Amino acid sequence: MTRKKVKLAYIEDLSSRKATFRKRKAGLMKKMYEISTLCGVDACAIIYSPFNNEPQVWPSNEGVQDVLSKFEELCEIDQSKQKLNQDSFLRQRIRKTDEQLKKQIRLNREKELSQIMYRLLSGEILHNLSIDDVNDLQTKMVRFRKDITMRIHSLEEAEGHPINGN
Amino acid sequence: MTRKKVKLAYIEDLSSRKATFRKRKAGLMKKMYEISTLCGVDACAIIYSPFNNEPQVWPSNEGVQDVLSKFEELCEIDQSKQKLNQDSFLRQRIRKTDEQLKKQIRLNREKELSQIMYRLLSGEILHNLSIDDVNDLQTKMVRFRKDITMRIHSLEEAEGHPINGN
DNA sequence: TGAGCTATGTATAATTT
DNA sequence: TAAATTATACATAGCTC
């Protein structure tokens, strides 16, 4: 029942640490309640513990969310010069990913063109094997190949650099 | 120097309220420091006061942001039944868009195959126009077309459904 | 205003149940 | 384990400067 002055350092012993945590957490929550009642202020606290799965909060889960949304709002306004906050960062990332996706889809459509042309062309070859058609076919193919090559080049230039996954 | 038991109610008098706030806030911050040191836990507190423009926080502005981002993350997991919050909604959207993008890129690579084959093939046709090669070429093309058609079909089945932009 | 000072109430370490 | 107890350290109301 004697008590020496508590040494302010991590309590190595698990059970004493746990006991201390439980007691002090209760005390802290009480103090939070008192200051907000006595002084009429909004306040919240969040404490993570290895002993509880859920974070320990005051005044309540919802109360905390209210208070911290207010906090984040203030941070956003005040820290406009600082780095973008999480939310706008995410939005920015979405925008970029969306743009990439749209480019890929556009690119795909172009590639599908040459794919379809290949199919048509090979079909054409297969069903028009007479020697008389070869010169005509050759002309068609030269034109088509030139066209496709140009399309691909202009696409690649538009992309600037190859797009890689992730 | 006498002190009666403090009545737990809003302190009407401004200056005493302010004094009480200042003292108790300091006490609270000290207790926060103590519990986190003694028990090795993450914790934060935010207190709004009409006396300070900025919200009073522990351990620091950045520390609070770290702790509360963790808190929000946990909330997401726990409140899976509730509506998704803005942040996780955005994250989810990013993940989905990323997945779509990866699919598109994969699809593109496969399509590039047939595109390259087309180029090779048309080059081959253009430079091997002797009648003697036609039968040989025809055999090659039949095999190639079959192969490509199968590839495309299996790709389309693997995708399940057509991918559309946005 | 706020800082410093006690007297007293409160929180809590150590201990038992 | 966690609740209850109790002695002691600590926080702080009320005061002065």
Q: Which residue has the higher pLDDT, B67 or B33?
A: B33
Whether A117 and chain B come into contact, CB under 8 Å, resolves to yes
Helix axes B14-39, A14-39, angle to 10 degrees: 170
Q: Tens digit of pLDDT for each residue in A83-135?
A: 345 555 566 666 666 667 666 665 665 555 555 555 555 555 444 444 444 44
Query: Which nucleotides on strand C sit less than 7 A from a protein beta carbon?
Result: 1-3, 5-15
Query: Measured between alpha carbons, how far apart are the two ends of chain B, in Å?
Result: 72
- Summarised one tens digit per residue, pLDDT across range A36-92 is 888 888 888 888 777 777 777 777 666 666 666 666 665 554 544 343 455 555 666
pTM of the model: 0.51
* Strand ranges in B14-147 using DSSP code E only, listed in sequence order: 43-47, 56-58
CB atoms within 10 A of CB A43: 24
Residue A24 has pLDDT above 70, yes or no: yes
> Nearest C-alpha of chain B: how many angstroms from A41?
5
8 Å CB contact between A84 and A92: yes
Residue nearest to nucleotide C1 (CA to C1'): B15
What's residue B61's pLDDT? 64
Mutate to test the interface with B, among A7, A20, A48, A141 (most CBs of B within 10 A): A48
Q: Out of B61, B105, B166, whose CB is closest to A165? A: B105
Q: Which residues contact B11 (CB under 8 A, 6 or more apart)?
A: A38, A39, B17, B20
pLDDT tens for B110-151 read 555 555 555 555 555 444 444 444 455 455 545 555 554 555
